Structure 1
């Protein structure tokens, strides 16, 4: 390929872009794009975290009158919706484009949040929470995929994990607003409605902001729109690098088009693609089986179970949100400096230790005044390892391991499994807690953490430092050293 543009008529446009590039800062522009798109992550975090403080008020007899099972259903209905939103959004994003789908999701966030806020009974709440989950799951696929495709390789880890930072920021905002609203409401039962409706503000911001964001150049290229891909690359890269990157993308797309024009489930019959999908599914499941979202969704109830009152538990739970945000900053800093497999193994070692200590403390110190503070300290420790090591690497790997033509499908399937695991744990957690008790429940999570550590050690490859195209070549060649030998040359360019 000698020219990245489709015809000589594009010469004037190329000159315009090369002249205007001096008026822009491509690196800064990519950061703005990432900030706007990651409002989808903020909504993801707020809508999953707000239930933590809203549920105790919803459950009251004069509100939705929930029992243990219906509490689990209200909390997990969003997660079930997210599972389906993830798998369908992946294919939709491949067809319609990353930008357009994120805009659709912003509108779904807005409408369903309003529906949840005015729900009059548990059935209505479950209905709107399920459809809100479609948007949450869709954002969990579309936003990281979009960020991975617009980011330069050396900053991809930082850009993709900015979405994780926004997720935990959304959760922190939810915990903080929950505590503030509850403690200044004079005990009013209907305060959960105010907690929920606040999510309409970031959904409006996301929808408006996406009008000013370009489409993914890799998506344009996958549709044969190389002229449009070239335009975007010239806005988010320096000219020489834009030309090299488009050449690499075009070569990858042409190689794929020589095989099949349509992406379908039949792609999973290709051994190396199937292996990647299994790795993605495994990575998604292990991120959830340690029970992280039991803490995120039921943190207030966990602290109540350990001995704190509702209002004190709501305030104490803010500590979980603060440590999550701080830990993600550490994770973003580490991603560009530390290999990803060791980060995951250290993360699972830390979370497993915290889960074991919660189990031991709740068994030996039950009924003591010290127990709730020890449990809180261990949940803080758990989230420190989870959000600094496990979550950032998980979402980054899921956004980068799949080849271009099946990226939406592969990530959709993997994130579907992530949300389905999340749904089952969220639904069953209050039931298991009621039947087997606090100590046994967290010991079961500890065992899951050990299994997750083993999966990372024996099954996952290292992905740090490889471009998306190099990763595809790596998996095609079953990890031959030729790829890793060339990666530093590519990055240095």
Structure 2
């Protein structure tokens, strides 16, 4: 559903610089506030959980429930958001999501107990999931082919930046007013600011030209392209968009009946397992509970929330490195290296917790290995999983297959978020990370035996290979 020059397309004029480039840059910044909110709202609970637990008397189970309910909401939001986006438009959906972000945030801030908090965390999850399904599509459809990868990837960077911002804001607020039980409400309330900026900003942003063409609104689509392309490029691209729309309409035959085809079932299984194993790496146990984890490792509450900002910083550094190398290394090689590195870091965290005596040395060893785990994960498995999911599925089943795979990923994310606090409480840090080691070894076997190489191959070549390999 993106704007590009493909096989059979006329050669497009180059994407020259001009006022339209600045307009496209502004659209990208405004739209990726959705990614920033995604990151902030998933990361803010990390530092807010300690005063929140005191204020609302949470147990380890209710801690996990309050955190994970947002992820269950995100799974539903991704499905609903994608459908609404197709029906009413990308811009319309992002405006709606900004309102849901505001309602969810204010509801959480005013919640008198953990039950009401959970309800509004679920509402917030709907917005997070909707943003994950809508913002990248909007960016892809409004970007020129030459810059699409770079512009769409900015949303992932903004997600990580949002988490890092949440960690830093939490550390500052907690060290100033951490003795106030209700301070977690202020931490959550800050998310209203980018939600307001997203809503106001999107009021002046255009609709996706690709969606407008699908609705038969050709003149409107050309007007939008005229804002973000040179005049000659806009005219040429419109012809390409019409051709692609016709091709996609012919190809859009994928549905439940395709699940009877063996090679298609095999590909969907690979996609779903890839999403599950990415989450079973435990990345979000650190991004959601890093402060609590470091506190149990031996840091004081004030020190733990400051040390946790390193997880946000190295997450941002990791994805920066990942973006730089992702097109230079074969996908399978990078996946295998990623799971090998993250599994090694899990083992080192577990051994540190098991063998070292309680004290500052143990705390710092665990911190170093957790930070290295985050860096390795975000530099490999984080961006690579999404890239492979966009490459392995043929056009006619792509929407259905990615939907199933992303649903599996979100549910695995929620399971880790729900289970992590009671598992650590009952088994300790060492045993918990040894479980991640076992899951990491299983992931290595899965990648080695099942995941195909997709780098440097056309979608048509991949489909032919999959038919032959899995039929």
Q: TM-score range by the shorter chain?
A: 0.7 to 0.9
Q: Which moved more, 1:427-436 or 1:167-176?
A: 427-436
Counterpart check, 1:24 vs 2:19:
yes
Q: Which moved more, 1:340-349 or 1:432-441?
A: 340-349
Counterpart check, 1:351 vs 2:342:
yes
1:137 alignment counterpart: 129
Do 2:454 and 2:462's aligned partners in 1 also have CA atoms closer than 8 Å? no
Shift of 1:154: 4.0
Shift of 1:306: 0.7
| Aligned-partner Cα distance in 2 for 1:133–1:360 | 35
1:306 alignment counterpart: 297
1:38 alignment counterpart: 32
Do 1:356 and 1:446's aligned partners in 2 also have CA atoms closer than 8 Å? yes
Counterpart check, 1:216 vs 2:241:
no
Report how many aligned residue pairs link the two structures: 456
Shift of 1:392: 1.8
Shift of 1:400: 5.6
Q: Which moved more, 1:327-336 or 1:170-179?
A: 327-336
> Structure 2 matches for 1:369-384, cutoff 5 A?
369-384=360-375
Shift of 1:242: 4.8
Shift of 1:436: 2.3
Tell me the secondary structure at the aligned position of residue 212 of structure 1.
coil
Counterpart check, 1:114 vs 2:138:
no
Counterpart check, 1:419 vs 2:410:
yes
1:285 alignment counterpart: 276
1:477 alignment counterpart: 464
Counterpart check, 1:195 vs 2:187:
yes
| Aligned-partner Cα distance in 2 for 1:451–1:154 | 38
Shift of 1:205: 1.0
Shift of 1:189: 1.0
| Aligned-partner Cα distance in 1 for 2:453–2:221 | 29
Among residues 15, 35, 42, which one is paired with 1:48 in the alignment?
A: 42
Do 1:94 and 1:408's aligned partners in 2 also have CA atoms closer than 8 Å? no
2:10 alignment counterpart: none
Q: Which moved more, 1:126-135 or 1:96-105?
A: 96-105
Name the TM-score, length of structure 2 as normaliser: 0.87
Name the TM-score, length of structure 1 as normaliser: 0.84
Do 1:339 and 1:464's aligned partners in 2 also have CA atoms closer than 8 Å? yes
1:321 alignment counterpart: 312
Deviations 1:115-144 (A, max 9, x none): 001111010111110111111111111122
Tell me the secondary structure at the aligned position of residue 437 of structure 1.
helix
2:119 alignment counterpart: 127
Q: Which moved more, 1:142-151 or 1:188-197?
A: 142-151
1:65 alignment counterpart: 57
Among residues 83, 90, 100, which one is paired with 1:91 in the alignment?
A: 83
| Aligned-partner Cα distance in 1 for 2:178–2:427 | 35
Do 2:40 and 2:165's aligned partners in 1 also have CA atoms closer than 8 Å? yes
> Structure 2 matches for 1:235-246, cutoff 5 A?
235-238=227-230, 242=234, 245-246=237-238
Q: Which moved more, 1:317-326 or 1:457-466?
A: 457-466
| Aligned-partner Cα distance in 2 for 1:477–1:217 | 31
Shift of 1:211: 2.4
| Aligned-partner Cα distance in 1 for 2:263–2:27 | 33
Distance 1:312 1:217, change over 3 A: same
| Aligned-partner Cα distance in 2 for 1:464–1:238 | 32
Counterpart check, 1:394 vs 2:389:
no
Distance 1:345 1:96, change over 3 A: farther
Shift of 1:273: 5.7
Tell me the secondary structure at the aligned position of residue 73 of structure 1.
helix
Shift of 1:203: 0.7
Shift of 1:478: 3.7
Among residues 57, 69, 90, which one is paired with 1:77 in the alignment?
A: 69
Tell me the secondary structure at the aligned position of residue 187 of structure 1.
coil
Q: Which moved more, 1:91-100 or 1:68-77?
A: 91-100
Shift of 1:313: 0.3
| Aligned-partner Cα distance in 2 for 1:306–1:144 | 37
Counterpart check, 1:171 vs 2:163:
yes
Shift of 1:342: 3.2
Shift of 1:336: 4.5
| Aligned-partner Cα distance in 2 for 1:276–1:150 | 29
Shift of 1:287: 1.6
Shift of 1:94: 2.0
Tell me the secondary structure at the aligned position of residue 386 of structure 1.
helix
Shift of 1:64: 0.6
| Aligned-partner Cα distance in 2 for 1:356–1:244 | 55
Deviations 1:351-381 (A, max 9, x none): 1111111111111114142111111111110
Counterpart check, 1:363 vs 2:344:
no
Do 1:290 and 1:448's aligned partners in 2 also have CA atoms closer than 8 Å? yes
Do 1:234 and 1:242's aligned partners in 2 also have CA atoms closer than 8 Å? yes
